[in-house]
Structure 1
């Protein structure tokens, strides 16, 4: 924010002592100067915000239609490459299409009933060995931050969709507690988490990434041999991709007693993807990145769609089915 040095006490004192006029006239003059300077600074700030908004709302381009059948195709054009094994890639974008069906009156009523529930501990829905309470649902209201329960339930809905629709790639999703654990303590700390899961039998692996006050998404794509990182604030979390590749090596050795072939695998930080314009929708963006990627869809959403997606996600969670 632009500062206003002309409003400080030293300036006022200097004007006061150097002008030969009565006290009332001096007060009027100083006030007018301050107002003029304030207006100028405000215009400068608005122009800066406008430039930032235009940059973040660059939604005239979208990721391309996949060339392969079962995975999201990324443009081979690289913006830059800072080291040998991490690529920073700009998606090739197209204009958004309308794929946001309105909620019916009955659906809206169901959402409103859930949001008006005064008993915070009341369980509204159960599934995937998870319980969603009224308090959990309330995190989808307004500009609240999504909590772990909501994100884990939504990721489970994505996994279930891939099981029911055989035209989609098989998906597995780690819960939100996986990445902080494996990043801090390595494979040994999470080796039992996949005791009954053949991780390598899936096409896409979703990894919600919680960075304290910010949600992102990592995707392990076995079809493309890619480790992809999606951040709605444009962050470059190379450590995450390194951690996940090391995890795959250790997981293969532990579960199959085989060496995981890392040759051909690429770490990708995706850029020019939809970006959030507030400090509260990162969880929503992470969920929508996951939902679009797992059905091989172009990103057609932006910040303006988040209020709609919040209500839609409430309905999807309550009915345990993605629209």
Structure 2
């Protein structure tokens, strides 16, 4: 039996992903997929800890309870399918490694299917958007709270991705420019771009930047661990967004940075900006995302007319 799966399952999963894990075609997962899978596994592992279970002992009842958690209830059909595949792949490996005797996730793939149509993008409606903006203006209790609110304000007020927030540097933020903006360097297929900051985010980001410059921690990341300057993980970003949304009572939406990015997009479209302009603000080369979110506006307006 591989004792590391019992003593440190997080490390065991990371090591397995790096050395052996692969998709159905036996090709190694991409770096981005590995990060996503590790975050998903860690979320499930924390669920098991809360229920007094381990990777060696959890059963179908633990998986069913996971689907009923507040966070998991907001998962799209595609996200549920990704979890089903991850848990099935994990359990098959644990059986092979002698950590488990059975695979309680074996039936998941038969009960979960990829969506036949693209899921509706998750976003905050205009009222909830305003509520979150107002919540972010409340005085921060401490340094960690100030950083958390600045991070959420950046997702909601600049529409950047988690990866872009993770790599943003102090020199990229210009809260005193006219107008204030965040510079997003080129990465992957996305060109470098300048994103003007929403008014509600400017005071908060100005305060955070001033504090960040004074902190005796390594590196020049705009958002980092306060202890040593290392980048913040996707899982931690998700936790910060979740905390902010729960604080205003928003529980019927996927609590992720992507939801706030979609909300930013929708706000720009509602303000009358073109799909071309908004796509550029998001760093996208096509209008597909804007088209999908614009469809939610048309649907909402149609319901109001009825």
Q: TM-score, normalised by structure 2?
A: 0.25
Higher helix share: 2
Higher strand share: 1
Q: TM-score, normalised by structure 1?
A: 0.24
Bigger relative contact order, structure 1 or 2 (CA pairs below 8 A, ≥6 apart): 1
- Structure with max Cα Rg: 1
